[in-house]
Amino acid sequence: MQKIPFLVRALVGAVLTFSAQPLFAADTPVGYKDTPIIPGQPWHVHDPDRPRPRVVTPAPTFSQNAAAPADATVLFDGKDLSKWKSDKGGEAQWKVANGYMEVVAKKGNIFTKEEFGDFQLHFEFATPEKVTGNSQGRGNSGVFLHGIYEVQVLDSYENPTYADGQAGAMYGQYPPLVNPIKKPGEWQTYDIIFEAPQFDQDGKVIKKAAVTAILNGVVVQHRKEYMGPSKHKEVSSYDGVKSSRGPIGLQDHGNPMRFRNMWIRPLGEYDKP
């Protein structure tokens, strides 16, 4: 009789230990207070006390499967990564299957071979259906405009993390206006309008990069200016930045994020048909 409770206790203990391991292993901070204050704002970079954006449940579809207009360049048509290269050198090494590309951990960020100025960008993404990790360790990727200005791609569905790191954030600078993220595994849409920075002859920025971003049909950034390239735990500036053109990048943050139907078109200028 003495042995049964012991065995039960041992079994329960073993189960608890086993199930607890992933929780501890995946524990990622939900913010930082040891980072600098963002100039002009009362918040630290990645401040856990910065208000989380309000959740807005999006409509089931918005621009999902939107076909590319005639003057667009198709960056990914579901078949191959011929328009892309790896930041480790050579061809992009991510997986392509069933009409989507998928991040393969440690294969590196990928960037388009072509560069762009002002543009309209459409793409679709899905965060992993099987949720692992927490905060920034859960369903993390990102789209790098001109290769350096990140709009965050993250599984922000009921995932407490710092506001300036949520999906739709201008990473480390501004949270999204609201949080319209869908559930893990569902296809989601991004429609992004980017205005390139402009520099004078001495390389001084005279017009900052600006972005308008629509996530699942909901505006999350409205012509907001970047303080400079996106940084982790640092304040940004345009020091050392000179280019008004750049590639589109996608981030390998170690999670098997999926992307599909990606196209881009130049904005053009008024009165210059």
Write out the two tokens for 128.
């992993």
Q: What is the 3-state secondary structure (H, E, C) of 158-213?
A: CCCCCHHHCCCCECCCECCCEECCCCCCCCEEEEEEEECCEECCCCCEEECCEEEE
The nearer residue to Mg ion, 86 or 244, going by C-beta atoms, is 86
Q: Does 139 bind Mg ion (CB under 5 A)?
A: no
What minimum distance in Å lies between the beta carbon of 106 and Mg ion? 16
CB 117 within 8 A of CB 245: yes
Q: Does 133 bind Mg ion (CB under 5 A)?
A: no
Q: Does 108 bind Mg ion (CB under 5 A)?
A: no
User: Applying CB under 5 A, which part among 105-113, 124-132, 217-225, 245-253 lies near Mg ion?
Assistant: 245-253
Q: Does 142 bind Mg ion (CB under 5 A)?
A: yes
CB 202 within 8 A of CB 79: no
What minimum distance in Å lies between the beta carbon of 253 and Mg ion? 5
**Beta bridge pairs of residue 19:** none
What minimum distance in Å lies between the beta carbon of 9 and Mg ion? 43
**Which residues are within 8 A (CB) of 207 and not within 5 positions of it... i.e. 6 or more apart?**
195, 197, 198
User: Applying CB under 5 A, which part among 187-195, 207-215, 246-254, 259-267 lies near Mg ion?
Assistant: 246-254
**Beta bridge pairs of residue 250:** 110, 143
What minimum distance in Å lies between the beta carbon of 266 and Mg ion? 26
Question: Residue numbers of the site for Mg ion (CB under 5 A)?
Answer: 140, 142, 251
